[in-house]
Chains A and B, each alone.
Chain A
Amino acid sequence: MKKYIYIISFIALFILPACDFMDEIPTEWHTPEAAFQLETTYERNINQGYAYIRNGYNRINGAFLDAATNDGTATMLNSNIHKLAQGFYNAQSPILNIWNNSYTGIRQTHFTEKYLKEVQLFLNGKTEKDVADIKKEGIAQMWALRALYEFDLLQHYGGYVIIDSYMEISDPRFNTLERSSFETCVNNIVTLCDSAALYLPVKHANFGRMEKGTAMAIKAKTLLYAASALYNRSGNTNPLVGYVNASAVDIENRWKAAAAALNEVINLKNGAVNRYALHANYAALFNATPNQNNEYIVFYATAQGNGLERRQYPPTLSVTSGGGTVPSQQFVDAFTNADGSAYTRASGAAPTYTGRDPRFDMIVGYDGSNYGPRGTIYTRLGDGETNDGLNQVKDFSTITGYYLRKFLNTTINFSVASPGNTYHLFPFIRLADVLLMYAEAMTQAYGFESDPQGYGLTAKQALQMVRTRAGFNAATDQYLAGVTTKDAQLQKIYDERRIELAFEEARYFDLRRWMKTDELSEPIKGMRIDNNAGNLTYTEITVDNQRVFEEKMYFAPIPKNEILVFPALQQNPGW
């Protein structure tokens, strides 16, 4: 009997295993607590908030976004930019799609903000107050970044879904998400910017970080959009795409608010001087070394490279590629004469490439233009024909007769083994943009030459500042001669924006917010030059006559997958 008891107990011993038999978890995985606690790693989480800022160079299938306006087109025949410009897009394949990326960025900012607040950070040699300040600045960077992502969404889609906290994917709130009204979104961005500006430094030692001026500039641009015609249509009943029942007084107040915000950016002081100043040389601005660049306010930072030159140089200079986004004849005709007077060219007449706006040479590569150390390029056909000529090499040669020279550093030389690298920081908002926006807001709010609030600059003076930097002499500039009505003054400001901010994604959105969309369905024209033993004949050609603009295209469609996954999400009208 005893034997059996021993045997039974021996068997029962097997039932010893603990109830926590399966509790072991991989403790080596990094948890937020570990990531935010250590001095060596906490900053990575802040950096990650920046990781979703998008580039603007070659953003749509290798082409600039403005190639879908009448400013230009792209040489790559298969690029989706053509579909975008010709209206062959829809919610299923929207082509212009920043939705996913922006929300990934927004989520990351919430994640960093949440854990910066919650997790205790240990830094050597810093007091508790120092640590608190560092955390506050980190959180302020997150707010500013969130404002940037949200502005991008506002610009593309109108009212968007405001995500105001960090949510795990199982959070039930995801099921009821819907888009907020345009008004709420604008207010949200403004609040974020105001809060961020309180804690951000005026100038950060690390170029590229969010600064006070960055937050203020985002706020100012948002307010400018909020005052624009597209979002204040009379009779608008859809709160997602603008203000509902905006009265003339409301609109005027919005312009005033925009002017005030823009003024704050212009007059932001770094010590005794203004934080931001126009760079001396327009052409060199876009490749300037960061420390010398005080004009950029909101931009995309990336390492040096030469990919943009590779893509945009004429084929003889690029060797393996070339062309890319190219300007149209209309854009070329939009440059004024050297004295600022309007340039007119009779239909079918030969264009003049000399004696034009000083920026013409810096922006456009034309037949016989000088690419600095790279020599002269010709787009003519016939005698002296090269691969740079019209339609010579598929996907690489110009299809309009012009190349885009802006943003390129002509010291980059692809015929040697080490072509060199340069800076290509894409500007979202720079001081020239702010000045022109200021001119627009002031004209709309108070008038072209009045400054009742005492900001220190009238609209006209702001406009002149930009032109002076461009190379015009303020005293002899004919640009504003005989321009007296408000509409004409605004048109002059619009024209200046077209040239100054060419291919910086300003035109695409500007034409929409001004509701001047006839130009978006204009056929794209080019110029064919034939050289016959020294005789040049100029023939105007139509490059793309399938440009289309419909009312629904004021806003991009929300990707179809989102509408299907989130039942409460509303699609933009017409899509």
Chain B
Amino acid sequence: MSAWLLGGCLFIQPPVSAQQMENHSEDLLDLNFKKVDPDTYNGSSYTIDGEMFRNLPITHLANALTGIVPGFFTRQTSGSVINEGPDYWIRGRRTSSEGVLVLVDGQERSFGSLSTYEIDKITILKDAAAVALYGMRAANGAILVTTRRGNIGKPRIELTAQLASQQPLRVPKPLNAYDYTRLYNEAYLNDNPSTTPDNLPFTDPLLYKNGTNPELYPNMDWLGQYYDTQQLLQRYNLNVSGGTARTRYFVNFGAMAHEGMYNTDKANTYSTNNEISRYNIRSNFEVDVTPTTLLTADVYGWVEKQNRPNNSSIDAFTSMVQTPASAFPAFYVDHGNYKTTTNEKVTSTDGKIIAGSSKYMNPWTQINKAGYGNYNEIYGSFRVKLEQDLKFILPGLKASGDISMDSQMSWVINRTKAFAYYEMRNDSTLVKTGTDGTMSNGVGSRSSNRRLTIDINLSYQQQFDKHNIYAMAGYNQYESADEVSIPARMQGVGGWLGYNYDKRYGIDLMASYYGSHKFAKGKRFGFFPSVAASWTLSNEEFFENLKDMFPFLRLRASIGQVGDHRGIAAHQYLSALEQVGGVYNFGNNMGGVGGYIQSQIANENVTWEKVLIYNIGVEGRILNDRLSFMAEYFRDQRSDIYLVNERIGGLYGVSATVRQNVGSMYSQGIDASLQWSDKIGQVTYNIGGNYSLSRNMVQDFGEADKEHPWLYQKGYPLGLQNGLTVVGFFKEEDFDINGNFADPTIPTHTFGKVQPGDLRYKDLNNDGVIDALDIQPIGAGNTPNHIFALNLGAEYKGFGFTVLFQGAAEISRNISSGGYLALPFYAEGNMFEHQLNYWTPETAATAEYPRLSVNNAAGVNNIRNSDFWIRDADYIRLKTAQIYYNLPDRWFRSGSVLRGVQVYFSGYNLMTWDKLKIVDPEWDPATFPINRNVSIGCTIKI
């Protein structure tokens, strides 16, 4: 397709080698208030360099971290272009309320919309020592993103263009009209066995097959005709950086555009496709005001716009999946003689009469005739930082102050149109419903937000002989306000005392005294200490002989207590009354009167969740720094988790739900990685991998006494799905002639009347009834317990490739959660090719789906959560692959305008191997399918 037309652009980029994939001691770890040498940093962290993922055809930055960072668990549920990053957890799911602190240049911001070209490094902080200074904000880990700065030198320009083709993976395949109507009849007969053939819903399915009258008996392939399986995504980027001894700058312009997923007719003057565009601008500027004073001023912002057919980007896709092939054609061709049932002549502006029915949405109409909507978002931010070297007072003393302000606004413009649709009665009569309307013009879904962060810091670092001392004290405050709530505010001071002897023994004491506005005055602040220590064996005397083999070997351990304020609503220590109507009746006519209820019961002792994290690890580099490895074990104990306390007895007399700090759970796991890079002749290559394990266990979630042990969350991992246990399908011999169970020991299935071919459940508590008491935890949960990855790369004379395989194990998906994937005709919807192996008396032994039924909807017997539908979703993907070629240096002699050029192919989500087969193991069927992106691009350096 046209997506592939592009001349050779030349792209220069230093090869992405293994050395950038690990923490190398030459690169400093940027903690925003301090740059530390990773070889002496005692917290648990992992850094990746921006160059690693710059060329990936991804639209959300979190996708860059999958498979590369050990301990970074992700689940990509949706493939939409905008706002849809993966769900992610650092070291797995460790508590009931999730959320990772993301700081971009020290300010808490969403980082998904940043361009990959702006990023210098991303650091993941994992253990207590690393996050101790953030108080209550980072108990689940933190992601620090730093953006690029300019270097001294003449201006360097980098221009990039990338074209990607986005292909949705595993879109469900609806049946053709003949199969749909034929099987619908069969399902109808199952539910109403006494129906005569001429009373079936579709009197002659064959009419849909032979295509003699495609308007009255259509056979539409909605997805095939109107959904684009090769969508064009374009990314362009231009940055200029440079500087003198006094000033340095980095300016970046980025643009991204997605052409939309639908095949619209383009007959309107406006677009009805779900196109998206995003523009980023950044200017990072540094000035040495004096030789000892550094002023940094960063300004950046982005603008995003989404166009949506019928003011919804996903409804058209959903209707393409759910509208049966036999429902109606896209439109009726106007032959000029159509009349409605009230004998009015039907007219159309372009020869196309809109088809439709009250049961199903017409996808063609949604993407052509229903108007559009526009989602707009603007984000602006600026930051000023002043760093003063105070060596005139005391050598090694520094102070800095940093203020960041962000502002965000979004709104939706609604320009939809009402339309009348017609159903064909015969080839001259149409039944009309609704009226054609003019385009509306309204605005809605407004939201805005502003944030402010202030950081002040005083630090001291000095080396005396073999002793290295570091001390730091800092003050931080953060405020975030939306339109109506009281702004969220946090404030705290932190301190760090570090001591390192001869680069062999190191110990760090970090603590913060941090408070959040959510809690009552006097109970807001908490003290969060942690201590970390390390022993670098490779610098010991006894290690001298091994130093050639083991240039670096270090043991690390840390323990600390942090707090977590996520998941706790603000002001729970206050009680609130709420007016309600109709609480009782008085008077001769028994009129209703209003009352006042306590909608919030004051919880005076509300406090934050306590988090105790232990971490021990070993890391090293051997064989001349060619092989590096890292392994860590952590244990995370949570207490005082804030959740619904079911053990509030009736004696309390409260009518509102009471939430208190009653929960506790723990999690533990391993992160490990191994990386080898070497050179054979002129070929440099690298191979490596990582593995992470995280398991958790609920100890107490405030649950009331329950009848059976399997009804508790206590004693099971958090996040397990639960459901009934399936024994098999009901057989014909299980029923007598009246439709009742032949065998009286078969328990009563309370979810509906069952027939042969329905799912038969197990009565766990032997009470003769299948009901909520027979539901138990099933499967492994919907967050993975294991994640692993393998990376390979090589380069020869400017030509190279890198490949990343990534996978997850011990993870379960519930196929029935969307309904339509599991059961045909769900909520009067469609039937799909993967559902063809359904139960009939003949296929009973090998059937994969229950018997057909036209009554499938929420709550029926067969759609209940059970181990029939909760399946293994383990997978391995070929996650990324890049092939690149740098034009030889000798082409760019000094003096020529160009400095270098690189061309590359880059792909994302290229192949998947899994057991689930029906659907992508990570996909949530209520959203857009996950995509495979394949791109080509080039960069010119001037």
Contacts and interface: CB of A to CB of B under 8 A. Distances in A.
Interface of A: 1, 3-4, 7-8, 10-11, 14-15, 17, 21-26, 29-32, 34-35, 41, 43-45, 47-48, 50-51, 53, 92, 99-101, 103-108, 111, 161, 163, 168-170, 174, 177, 206-209, 289-291, 301-304, 423, 425, 559-562, 564-566, 569
Given A4-B392, A32-B577, A48 B590 contact: no
Given A35-B577, A45-B596, A206-B587, A26 B571 contact: yes
B737 interface: no
B745 interface: no
A104 B655 contact: yes
Interface in B464-515: 475, 477, 485-487, 489-491, 515
B649 interface: yes
Interface in B711-766: none
Contacts of A560: 705
Contact of A44 (B489, B591, B595, B658): B595
B654 A104 contact: yes
A11 B486 contact: no
B384 to A, nearest CB: 11
B53 to A, nearest CB: 35
Interface in B569-614: 571, 574-579, 583-598, 600-605
B736 to A, nearest CB: 17
B681 interface: no
Given A22-B516, A302-B590, A163 B653 contact: yes
B388 A209 contact: no
Contacts of B877: none
A260 B497 CA distance: 82
Interface centre among B585, B589, B595, B653 (most CB of A within 10 A): B653
A304 B589 CA distance: 8
Contact of B486 (A21, A24, A92, A566): A24
B709 interface: no
B516 A51 contact: no
Given A7-B293, A26-B486, A92 B707 contact: yes
B890 interface: no
B627 interface: no
24 contacts: A1-B392, A3-B293, A4-B388, A7-B289, A17-B491, A21-B477, A22-B515, A25-B571, A29-B574, A35-B596, A41-B596, A51-B595, A53-B584, A100-B650, A104-B654, A111-B598, A169-B603, A174-B651, A174-B652, A206-B587, A207-B587, A290-B589, A301-B586, A302-B585
Nearest to A205: B587
A44 B592 CA distance: 11
A107 B650 CA distance: 10
B524 interface: yes
Given A48-B595, A170-B604, A562 B649 contact: yes
A-B CB proximity, top 7 nearest = A107-B653, A100-B650, A48-B595, A22-B517, A565-B649, A11-B401, A51-B583
Contact of B577 (A7, A11, A30, A564): A30
Contacts of A291: 588
Contacts of B596: 30, 35, 41, 44-45, 48
B647 A21 contact: no
B650 A25 contact: no
Contacts of A99: 650
B704 interface: yes
A14 B654 contact: no
A403 to B, nearest CB: 26
B456 A14 contact: yes
Nearest to A301: B585
A14 B401 contact: yes
B577 A561 contact: no
A49 to B, nearest CB: 9
Contacts of B400: 11
B516 A564 contact: no
Contacts of B574: 25-26, 29
B565 to A, nearest CB: 12
Interface residues of B, number: 69
B584 A161 contact: no
A301 B590 contact: yes
Interface in B516-574: 516-517, 521, 524, 571, 574
Contact of B399 (A8, A34, A51): A8
Given A11-B401, A208-B584, A562 B650 contact: yes
B82 interface: no
B454 interface: yes
A169 B648 contact: yes
Contact of B586 (A14, A35, A92, A209): A209
A550 to B, nearest CB: 21
A103 B651 CA distance: 6
A45 to B, nearest CB: 5
A25 B486 contact: yes
B651 A163 contact: yes
A304 B590 CA distance: 7
Contact of B579 (A31, A41, A564): A41
B401 A23 contact: no
Contacts of B589: 290
B399 A47 contact: no
A214 B444 CA distance: 54
A17 B652 contact: no
Nearest to A161: B651
A53 B586 CA distance: 13
Given A10-B386, A30-B576, A565 B592 contact: no
B647 A561 contact: yes
B477 A11 contact: no
Interface centre among B403, B516, B521, B587 (most CB of A within 10 A): B587
A257 B653 CA distance: 32
Contacts of B477: 17, 21
A30 B585 contact: no
Contacts of A566: 649, 651
Contacts of A11: 386, 388, 399-401, 456
A137 B95 CA distance: 51
B160 to A, nearest CB: 38
Given A29-B574, A44-B596, A564-B647, 7 more contacts: A15-B475, A22-B491, A35-B596, A45-B595, A101-B650, A207-B586, A561-B705
A207 B585 CA distance: 9
B601 A169 contact: yes
A86 to B, nearest CB: 15
Contacts of A34: 577
Contacts of A100: 650, 653
Nearest to B578: A30
A156 to B, nearest CB: 13
B343 interface: no
Given A47-B595, A303-B592, A3 B290 contact: yes
Nearest to B598: A111
Interface centre among B485, B490, B575 (most CB of A within 10 A): B575
Interface string B615-654: 0000000000000000000000000000000011111111
Given A22-B515, A45-B595, A208-B586, A177 B576 contact: no
B868 to A, nearest CB: 26
Contacts of A301: 584-586, 590
Nearest to A558: B650
Contacts of B651: 103, 161, 163, 174, 177, 562, 565-566, 569
Contacts of B392: 1, 4
A425 to B, nearest CB: 8
A426 B53 CA distance: 73
Nearest to A168: B602
Contact of B386 (A7, A174, A304): A7
Interface centre among B399, B515, B524, B590 (most CB of A within 10 A): B590
A11 B584 CA distance: 62
Nearest to A562: B649
Contacts of A108: 653
B571 A289 contact: no
